[in-house]
Chains A and B, each alone.
Chain A
C-alpha cells in the first residue's frame, strides 16, 4: 500500500512528526519506520538562496543559487546548487543545457585563482603577488603613456589621446564594472577601446 502514498504526502506526514504512528496505523510495522528514517533530509532546505541571472546569453534567465553558510561574518559561503528561478517572467524556472550546468562553471578546474606572470621569452607562467602585478602594470602604463601621449595633432588642435595602449572590455561584466572601467580608461585618453558588441 505504501506505493500509493505519494512522495509529497509521505514527506508531509513525516514533517508533521507523525510518520511513524501514521504508517503504523496503516498496519505496516517496523519496515516503513526504518524507511522513513533512511530518507535523507532535503539538503537545500538549510542553504541560503540568492537571486542571480545567468551569465551567458542575453535572455538573462533568472537563477537561484543555493549556498552553504548563513552570511555570518567569518562563514565563507559556497554555492552548491543552481536552478532556474520559477518567478522569473522570461524563463519561468527553465534553463538550457548551459544554464543547467552553471554550477560546474562556478567551480571549474580551469578558473583563474592567483595572479600569474610570464616574462619575455619564458615558456611558463609563475605566480606573483597582486601588489607586484599591479605595481608593474601601472609602471608599464605610465611609461608608455608619458612617452606616446599626443596632446596636439599636426594642425595644433588639442586631441589629448593615447594610442599605444588599448583596452578590450567584457560584455559579461556588470554595468557598474563597465562604468568604473569607462571612467578609468577614458581618463587616460585611451581610444583603442572596444568590447564584444562589435564582434
Chain B
C-alpha cells in the first residue's frame, strides 16, 4: 500500500525500493513506499492480570479508552511519547512487545494525579503507571529505575526508624545510583544556605544527619511492617510466576552446559 503520511509509521516498518517494476509498470520512488505487514503472534494473555496483581494496578479493567489521562498528563506535556491511555490499551490487549518499546519511559510518571482527577472510570491511572513500572523491573525488562531505588531507600529508612532524615536519604540514594554527592547545583544550594544560617542551626543539622531521628517505641511497628511487606512481595512474585520463570531459566542454563 503506498503511503503519504510517513510520520505516522515507525521507520523500521517502512520499505522503500529505489527501482521496482511490477507487471511491467515502473513504480520506483514515491510509489514504492510500503508498510511492512505486521502479524502479532506473541500476545501475553496474562498481562492485564499480572499488572492488576501489583499495587496500583487493581482497577485497570475499568478503562474505556477515553484518553482523559493522557490529555491531562503533566509528563505528556513535556514528552508526547508518554501516553498512559496507549499503555493501558496495550496491557489490556496483551501486546507485551509493543509495551516494551516504552519501557524506559513508564517510570517517569510524577504522581501528580492529574489523570486520577480526570478519569471518569476511577481507573487510578497513576497507580497503573507505578504497577507497570514495577512489573517491568520484576520481569527483568528494565533495571531498577532511579525512582524505585529512591522509594526503596526511603521505605527502608521508615521501617527502620519510623522517620526520614532527608540528608541521609539523599546520600544513600546518590550512593546507590552511583552519582556524586557534590553536584554543582547541590553545592550552590549549600552555599546559599550557609550565607544566611546561624551557626547553631548548622550544628543541629550536622547532628541530625549523623544521628538519624527515630520514633520512640517504633521497633514493634517496624517489624510488623517488614513482615507484611515480605508477605506481599512473595504474593507478587507468585502472581507473576517469577519463581517458575527463574527455575526455567536455570534449567536452560544447566542443559546448555551439559
Q: Do A and B bind each other?
A: no
